Amino acid sequence: MTSDALRATDVRKIYQTRRFAGWRRATARSGRAPDDGAVEALSGVSMTVRPGERVGLLGRNGAGKTTFLKIASTLLTPTSGEVLVFGQDVDREADQVRALIAVVPQEGKPFFHLTPREQVYTYLRARGLSRETALSRTAESLAQMGIEDVADRLSVTLSGGQRQRTMVATVIATEAPLLFLDEPTIGMDPFARRAVWECLRRLTRKGSTILLTTHYLDEAEALAERLYIIDRGTVLVEGTSDALKHRVGGTLRVSVKGGKEVEALFASFGHCVGDGEAVHVITEPPRLGEIMEVAVRHGLNATVGPVTLEEAFLRAVGRSIDDEAS
């Protein structure tokens, strides 16, 4: 048996889609190359997750994160490649794998006609847990997710964030060896998000393994011990949050209000990123004095902060977009 909780090797997924017939006729008449309706969502993804790790999957909309999670959690068959969960093949040994995993799907909803308490309890019983364990785990996870006060109301009456908390409560209550969470904190308030982070940390301390996706990079930084950034179906980079930030080319960010003319002033001090209203110069501490001197000389306001994971992400994915364009 392999020592990895998850090992994916060269996973590809091509979706075959139907096209709008009118569009097909129009493109045929225009002489443009026919679109065969194939979408390559994953073009050879390999990754490993060790037992007890919390790993984050980051990427733009459409990068392939959900597709990968669906394949790894036996909901979708890969076009080629292999995913092993605790040594078992997700395609050929799907039943065995399902007993080892639990999934919070993207945009999943609790059953409208069940209460959160019924939903969590029923799910645990369906997974084969005893009545006593299911009862105590249900109470515990509802409390951890802060939804005891609405636990006996039909889910249809809950707010969006309360429904999402119910979805997470259902899955954390399983304490499954491997948890897949696709944007688990979407729509949650900052308190609820922190409650999820704490629950997931506690679960990994108890031995579970976690693979999650998120667009909140503060969440990725707070929660994930290792990150994979994927873009257009391939892994761009892998590493700790600090390692990814290191690749940006500096540890400090100096922000100066202004546009292209400001960028020209600071270009020699490090990588410059414009965001419309300001220019951010990514640099190292020894250059800070000179940068501030230039700012003062030109009467510009400059603020200094640490490089964020967001900058690392924008840089890594931005390079990939540039490569695609060239």
Ligand X SMILES: Nc1ncnc2c1ncn2[C@@H]1O[C@H](COP(=O)(O)OP(=O)(O)OP(=O)(O)O)[C@@H](O)[C@H]1O
Residues that bind ligand X (CB under 6 A): 15, 17, 39, 41, 59, 61-67, 106
Q: Which is nearer to ligand X, 64 or 184 (CB)?
A: 64
Q: How far is the CB of 65 from Mg ion (least distance, A)?
A: 5
* DSSP β-bridge partners for residue 103: 180
Partner whose binding site includes residue 307, from Mg ion, ligand X, none (CB under 5 to 8 Å by kind) = none
Nearer to ligand X, 18 or 29 (CB): 18
Q: Does 66 bind Mg ion (CB under 5 A)?
A: yes
- 88-127 positions binding Mg ion, by CB under 5 A: 106
Q: Which residue is nearest to Mg ion (CB)?
A: 66
Which of the 8 DSSP states describes residue 229?
E
At its nearest, how many Å lie between ligand X and the CB of residue 135?
35
Residue closer to ligand X, measured from CB, 65 or 253: 65
Instruction: Please report, in angstroms and rounded to a whole number, the separation of the first and last CA atoms in the chain.
Output: 44
Give which of 194, 164, 195 is closest to 182, Cα–Cα: 164
How far apart CA 262 and CA 256 sit, in angstroms, is 8
- Per DSSP, the three-state class of 23 is helix
Number of residues that bind Mg ion (CB under 5 A): 3
- The residue type found at 237 is V
Q: Among residues 9, 169, 176, 13, which one has the least CA distance to residue 96?
A: 176
We find the least distance from the C-beta atom of residue 224 to ligand X, in angstroms, to be 16
- In the list ligand X, Mg ion, none, the entry touching 174 (Cβ below 5 to 8 angstroms by class) is none
**Residue 234 and residue 64: Cα distance in Å, rounded?**
8
64 binds, among ligand X, Mg ion, none (CB under 5 to 8 A by kind): ligand X
Residue 216 is a binding residue for Mg ion (CB under 5 A): no
Nearer residue to ligand X within complex by CB, 59 or 270: 59
Residue among 79, 191, 208 at smallest CA distance from 146: 191
Out of ligand X, Mg ion, none, what residue 15 binds, judged by CB under 5 to 8 A for its kind, is: ligand X
Question: 181 to each of 147, 170, 200, how far by Cα in Å?
Answer: 19, 12, 10
Residue 200 to residue 172: CA distance in whole angstroms: 8
- Give which of ligand X, Mg ion, none residue 115 binds (C-beta under 5 to 8 Å, depending on kind): none
- Determine the angle formed by the axes of helices 160-172 and 131-144, rounding to 10 degrees: 140
Residue 62 binds what, of ligand X, Mg ion, none (CB under 5 to 8 Å, by partner type)? ligand X
- Residues lying near Mg ion in the complex (CB under 5 A) are found at 65-66, 106
